[in-house]
């Protein structure tokens, strides 16, 4: 899921570069044309471009936030798993110690019985 978000972020960055390239091409095309467009047309294009860049920035920020949240959740889940396994390991070690003590007691009793016979 983190890889998916990273991929989306990379796509957004590529889209931003493409938009910038299109802006440069558009600016070149405007200067190349013989007929000078009206100021209203240029302003409209600038507004559209600004809107596209603002939407891109919002989406990129949203993806960054989602990626940070996923990384945090992943870290928390890893910590929780480690704590869970450490608890299980302590319990098993305690059981092993109990079994060892019981076995030592049985071996001691067996040795005492063998001495009596």
pLDDT of residue 27: 82
* In the predicted structure, residue 90 carries a pLDDT above the cut 80: yes
Mean pLDDT, residues 36-63: 90
pLDDT of residue 35: 63
Enter the pTM of the model: 0.47
* In the predicted structure, residue 30 carries a pLDDT above the cut 90: no
pLDDT-derived band of residue 26, with 50, 70 and 90 as boundaries? Answer: confident
* R_g of the chain computed on alpha carbons: 35
Contact 3, 74 (CB under 8 A): no
Name the CA dihedral angle for 13, 17, 20, 21, rounded to a multiple of 10 degrees.
-160
Domain boundaries, the chain: 2-116
- Over residues 55-80, the pLDDT tens digits come to 999 999 999 999 999 999 999 999 99
Helices H, strands E: what count in the chain? Answer: 2, 0
Distances (CA, A) of 64 to 9, 16, 59, 75, 115: 7, 15, 9, 16, 75
């Amino acid at each position: 899921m983190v890889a998916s978000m990273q991929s989306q972020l990379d796509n957004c960055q590529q889209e931003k570069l493409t938009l910038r390239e299109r802006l440069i091409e558009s600016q070149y095309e405007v200067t190349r044309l013989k007929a000078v467009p009206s100021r209203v047309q240029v302003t409209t294009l600038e507004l559209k471009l600004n809107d596209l860049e603002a939407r891109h920035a919002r989406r990129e920020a949203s993806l960054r936030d989602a990626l940070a949240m996923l990384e945090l959740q992943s870290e928390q889940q890893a910590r929780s798993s480690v704590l869970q396994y450490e608890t299980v390991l302590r319990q098993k070690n305690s059981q092993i110690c109990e079994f060892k003590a019981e076995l030592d007691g049985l071996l001691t009793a067996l040795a005492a019985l063998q001495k009596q016979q």
